[in-house]
Amino acid sequence: MRVALLGSGRGSNADAVLRAQKEGRLGKAVVAGIYCDIPTAPMLKLGPIYGVPAHYLDPGPFKTKFSPEREAAWAQTLIDDQIDLVVLAGFMRVLKSPLLHPFAGRIINLHPTLLPLFPGLDGIGQTWRAGSAEGGCTVHWVTEAVDEGGHLGQARVPRTADDTLETFAQKIHQAEHQLLPKVIAELAEKLPAR
């Protein structure tokens, strides 16, 4: 199963997936490429480190979404690269039909809360400010509705009395780094090739 990692930032979750691949924990999944919408994102530096092609792709003029033309161009690139599964790992754009349609049932996202609680931006901050006794992360299918696709896995993280927002966030990120590769490996057993 050929996997594309889409991201917008430092790439800690992409790094966790690539590390899992190097350690033989991705099963039948192979990361075929890293695709980023920010030309200076540290995530792009992971490509040479792990021997995986890393691409900056122009997202168009908007900050949180694509223009339909640019989204269609991204979709065509992923089709040309024979991608079977698209993994949003810190990708900060809302997807619409130009990408969702050709990859229906083949795009997953990692969200830093126990969905359906606290969808959208700043999930960890939302969880913290609500005084929740626990946080966590969810891997889910991507649909037109933000953070509402079916769940593929969750990891729970208790909030302790000595936690700060920073330590709480670190624990959630550690849980993300375990959960995402696990779900990818499980999907590689279930999803047929495109």
Q: What is the pLDDT of residues 64-97, one digit of tens each?
A: 888 899 999 999 999 999 999 999 999 989 999 9
Q: What average pLDDT does range 49-58 have in this prediction?
A: 96
What is the model's pLDDT at position 193? 75
- Give 60's pLDDT tier (boundaries 50, 70, 90): confident
Supply the residues annotated as catalytic: 111
What is the model's pLDDT at position 63? 84
Residue with structure tokens 């126990």? 114
Beta strands at 107-111 and 85-88: parallel, antiparallel or unpaired: parallel
Structure tokens given for 7: 């991201």
Domain boundaries, the chain: 2-190
DSSP-based three-state secondary structure for 167: helix
User: For the chain, what is the mean pLDDT?
Assistant: 96
Kindly write down the DSSP assignment for every residue of 32-50, as one continuous string: EEEEESSTT-GGGGHHHHH
Say yes or no to pLDDT of 192 above 90. Answer: no
Q: Model's pTM, two decimal places?
A: 0.95
Q: Which residue has better confidence, 17 or 146?
A: 17
Estimate the crossing angle of helix 165-190 against helix 12-22, to 10 degrees. Answer: 50
The superfamily CATH assigns to domain 2-190 is Formyl transferase, N-terminal domain (3.40.50.170)
What is the model's pLDDT at position 65? 85
Question: pLDDT tens for residues 112-161?
Answer: 999 999 999 999 999 999 999 999 999 999 999 889 999 999 999 999 99
What is the model's pLDDT at position 194? 77
- Cis peptide preceding 61, ω within 30 of 0: no
